[in-house]
Structure 1
């Protein structure tokens, strides 16, 4: 593998799996050491500045038993992508939250910072009205070019995601288990579809089974990846309200579907409205109020303007830097002198034209002219 991110990835994968050390400390250690490999090679005396004796013991034990290259190779063989906070391809919206996961495992793609994203969440045991609104808004958001974020749970979450996919949009599921486990199993169809129309993400390593204690922490990732959180039906003490609280702490907008005062499924939503949450009456109105429609319009204009201004010049500039061995986005940025967003847009177009292929998270290479099969 080539490029510093590629060189460092196996060590970032190791650091992500050191038990007993939180995301903030892993981030702090990496910033101090400048790379995950330097953390791995850091003398125990130096690590003592940051870690208590029990935590230091755990890290040292993991260093001794962990086959860094071998374990990372196994992950690649399983077809699971991995990205750490140390890489520029890590979702920018998520990196901005206080307790961002140090590492993310995923199938498909990662959400783009330039594309507006909305989470639709709510009751598992929802009413027919709730089902209808989740489907309607999921479809309308997809038609507006907004990415849908959710947890693929039964009820409102998966209904909204299914509607977005059926409308031709992109959706991303954040799981409370490993990405290789479809939970709940009944959502297998949308799970598989999201691998090509979005992505499946988790902070938990492959093989981690769904456990009750893993679901509340994953909610911070759902809200962290979203510009706006929309709640459709939630009881007074619903787990959905945990996500609403996390979204508010992260400075995100929260909108809710109002309901009848006598309806238990609307108790949580009505309470949030009383506390100042936005009133969700239509997708169009919400997009205007939050400025997401304007944000999308500006991004599309910027993309269009970049294509018009640069034309073949920008295309050729990037092509000259690409090769038949993988290069990271940082390498391409350094070699071409192009802006990060401009490179992403160009790479997307080149991938769609079949001239370039993405070989792993943040790494691209030229595509061969022929697909030779034996």
Structure 2
């Protein structure tokens, strides 16, 4: 099924508790927040056991919540006019992912799926009332779904005093999206939302869930990282994502590997010669070279050589466009125009088929790059893009 993510309200986030009170007639027991994310490099590597280098955005999804004395989950989103969605959690343990429980569709499927996944893991949770607010742009490749999943999981486990390490929480949030929403995503989005720290990119080994927090301070280097939201909505549950996952897993099996992560970069060409399917060859080339780009970008960040990461970003976009075939005309135009206007490098970020691009620029170049991209979109007849700057923010936390 397609993603139908929580809508950004564009309203002040401080009103989550007030909204809960007005809706349910009493104050919440707390408010929990989880951020969206930008992936600096390492795209479509997570379901191949590879490496990624995301960081959390200041944009976040808040969940105001309180326990209930029964086994009912009531969910409301400020971004949708559909009212309160009610779900009976009785007997929700022991779920069969092959036959997911019948429940809400659209945005409400995400918090419902999180509750099911937590209960199926044997966690002692009860009912709850939830009120959701978000300013994470939806459909922009910035992981609004993961922000909702992680914020919901953190709220429910904290409400019921269930100790859960952040990597485990992220893994259950991913299972919710895989098994019950129907999107076969990797774990990178949820890990970034749950585990990131301010001022750092998160080097993530998606096989072991090992993390390293890498200093990433564009401002100190006289730089800025722009996020160019093309406003092209993407839907990753429509078969395109699953096709690429199957192609990668099939290629790994054909090469006798547990996952494409296990193919050394130095042996890539020999391995490609063993594959008859040209599509599989392209997919493998992207994954293996993208893992290598993550390693090289981390080395440059540690050395304080941020400008030199630019060509690797551009190289990554070409790989996603040509070998993984997940770009679109709007993303390609954003990347090429940003570079022509002075960016050190640019690339699409997120799953693709729309969403956002990144551009690494000098701090004083934001106005010029923004103007160039906006004018290029207008000339092409595209919807005006939304351009903002991004800096690494903190991961999920209880905020009230």
TM-score normalised to the size of structure 2? 0.24
* Bigger strand fraction: 2
More helix by share: 1
Q: Which has the greater radius of gyration?
A: 1
TM-score (norm 1): 0.25
